[in-house]
Amino acid sequence: MADHGELEYATATGNDLPAHEQTYRSFVTLVKVALGVIVVILILMAYFLA
């Protein structure tokens, strides 16, 4: 078998944890707003179409 040498693990340099956390918070906010809009649309559909 071929000798593949020593196993190397990549390390991330320059991790920007505050930016990661802000992106996550923005994503969660977007999901909440989208869910709210969908609920309002469904309520309006139930009122006007039924």
Quickly tell me which residue has 């309520």 as its tokens: 43
Q: Report DSSP state, residue 11.
A: -
Identify which of 27, 30, 50, 28 has the alpha carbon closest to the alpha carbon of residue 38: 30
For 26: left if phi > 0, alpha if psi spans -120 to 50, otherwise beta; the answer is: alpha
Report if pTM > 0.85. Answer: no
For 1-50, the pLDDT digits (tens) are: 567 777 766 666 777 888 899 999 999 999 999 999 999 999 999 999 98
Q: How far apart are CA 6 and CA 10, in angstroms?
A: 13
